[in-house]
């Protein structure tokens, strides 16, 4: 283990074990993850923080896989911020769309090529308000 001064502010070492059952095969997989924190948290707070972290990671993964966000080269002004917001809006439209049970990438392609499908998506955004 490292020397105590290398862990400045360390208050918790956290172990989270998750068990997931695959819906198609019924196979159960178990995973253990370790975290360190400078906060003094109880188990409920830890679980909330860990779940929040993975929700953000999941969203970033979807943005990168669907929209190749990591490859974006927009650097001027507020362009990167604006395009990030547009990608998140599109991602949410695709997530809430129940008309077609297809991948996000396919929904993106359909929205680009099919005026009727694109209209359905945009109309659903108006209804969400």
Task: Name the E strands within 5-120.
Answer: 12-21, 28-37
Q: Mean of the per-residue pLDDT values for the chain? A: 86
- How many CB atoms within 10 Å of residue 26? 7
Domain holding 62, by residue range, is 42-129
Same domain, 15 and 60: no
| Average pLDDT value for residue range 6-19 | 86
Per-residue pLDDT for 62 more than 70?
yes
Same domain, 55 and 106: yes
Distances, alpha carbon 41 to alpha carbons 33, 48, 56, 57, 110, in Å:
17, 10, 20, 21, 45
Positive or negative, the CA dihedral 100, 104, 105, 110 is positive
pTM above 0.75, yes or no: no
Instruction: Give the total number of structural domains in the chain.
Output: 2
Same domain, 103 and 61: yes
């Amino acid at each position: 283990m490292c020397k105590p001064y290398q862990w400045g502010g360390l208050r918790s070492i956290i172990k989270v074990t998750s068990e997931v059952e695959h819906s198609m095969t019924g196979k159960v997989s178990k995973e253990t993850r370790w975290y360190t924190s400078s906060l003094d948290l109880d188990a409920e707070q830890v679980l909330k923080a860990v779940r929040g972290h993975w929700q953000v990671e999941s969203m970033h993964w979807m943005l990168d896989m669907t929209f190749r966000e990591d490859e974006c080269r927009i650097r001027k002004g507020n362009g990167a911020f604006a395009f990030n917001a547009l990608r998140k809006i599109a991602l949410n439209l695709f997530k809430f769309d129940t008309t077609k049970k297809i991948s996000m990438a396919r929904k993106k392609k359909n929205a680009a090529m099919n005026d009727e499908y694109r209209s359905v998506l945009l109309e659903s955004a108006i209804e969400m308000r």
